[in-house]
Amino acid sequence: MISNPPYSQSWVPQMDARFEGYKLAPKSKADFAFILDGIHSLNATGTAAFILPHGVLFRGQAEGDIRRKLIEDNLLDAVIGLPSNLFTNTSIPVCILVFKKNRTNTDILFIDAQKDFVKNKNKNIMTSEQVEKVIKAYKDRADIDRYSSNISMSTILDNDYNLNIPRYIDSFEPEEIPDAVQLAKELNKINRESRTLGLEIAEMLKQLVCTDPDSQKEHDEFVKEFTEFLVSSDSACTVEEQEAVIKKIEDVKKYLLQKMFV
C-alpha cells in the first residue's frame, strides 16, 4: 500500500488494536497514527510506503518511542528523502518511509534524492530518470556514494533512533580545486587589465584643467602620485595586491567624476 496522509493533523488519541504495543501519537500530530494504522492492515508479507514530513524522522517524546519500537520490531525497510516543493499544497521537503513485514535483513536503506529535481515554473518535479534512480537503488539496496547507504541497526541505536538523513548520508560535494596554471593566467590577465585601465584614466586626468591655480596644483600632484603608483604596482602579483590596485583605480574614477561635474 502507498499512503500520503495529511501532515501533522490533529486527532483524538484512543488506544485500540491498531496501536497495541506502541505509544499513542500526540494529539497534535497524527503522522505515526497513520503509519501504525497502515501497518496493521498489512498481511504477513505486506509492504507499506508513507509520504510524510521530515519531522517523523527525528521528533522526540511519544513519536520517538514509536519510531524506536518500529525499528526494534524490524519493520522499517527504507528512508527516502525527496526534494522540497514537489506538491501543490506544501513546499516543505518530504520523505518516504517504507515498512515491510517479515524482513529478512536488519539494515535500513537510506536514499537521499533531495537534490534530484528540475524546476518547473514555481514547482519542482522529478524526472522519470530521477524516479527510476530511486527505484533501482531501493530494489538493489545499493550503496551509492553521497546517495544511498545501508545502515546497521547498531548505528541507528548509536544515533538514538534519530533517522535524520544527513546523519547517515554525506551529500556534500567538495568544491573543485582550481587549476594552478589557469589561476596564474587569470591573475596575470587581471594584472594587465587593471594596469591598462589605470593608464587610460591617467591619460584622461592629464587632460583635465582646473578652474583655479590651487586646484590645478593639487590635481597635478595627484596625477603624478597616481602615475607613480601604476609604475610601482607593475610587479604586484598576489590576490591582495591586485585587489588593492583595482580599489585604487576605482577611487581615482570617483575622483575624476567629481572633478568633471564640480
**Does residue 122 sit within a domain?**
yes
**Does residue 25 sit within a domain?**
yes
Residue 202 belongs to what domain range? 180-261
Last residue of a domain, one of 167, 191, 222: 167
Same domain membership, residue 211 and residue 138: no
Predicted local confidence at residue 144, as pLDDT: 93
**Does residue 172 sit within a domain?**
no
Q: Map residue 155 onto helix, strand or coil.
A: helix
Same domain membership, residue 186 and residue 139: no
Q: How far apart are CA 198 and CA 207, in angstroms?
A: 15
Predicted local confidence at residue 232, as pLDDT: 66
Last residue of a domain, one of 121, 146, 167: 167
**Contact indicator for 108, 78 with CB cutoff of 8 Å:** yes
**Contact indicator for 93, 76 with CB cutoff of 8 Å:** no
Last residue of a domain, one of 125, 142, 167: 167
Contacts of 215 (CB under 8 A, 6+ apart): none
Predicted local confidence at residue 106, as pLDDT: 93
Same domain membership, residue 208 and residue 162: no
pLDDT, averaged in runs of 10, over the chain (262 residues): 89 91 92 94 94 92 94 96 86 92 93 90 90 95 92 94 93 68 74 72 71 77 74 58 64 63 48
Q: Map residue 181 onto helix, strand or coil.
A: helix
**Does residue 117 sit within a domain?**
yes
Same domain membership, residue 138 and residue 75: yes
Report residue 24 as a C-alpha cell. Answer: 499513542
Split into its structural domains, the chain has a count of: 2
CATH number of the domain where residue 71 is located: 3.40.50.150
**Does residue 174 sit within a domain?**
no
Predicted local confidence at residue 220, as pLDDT: 78
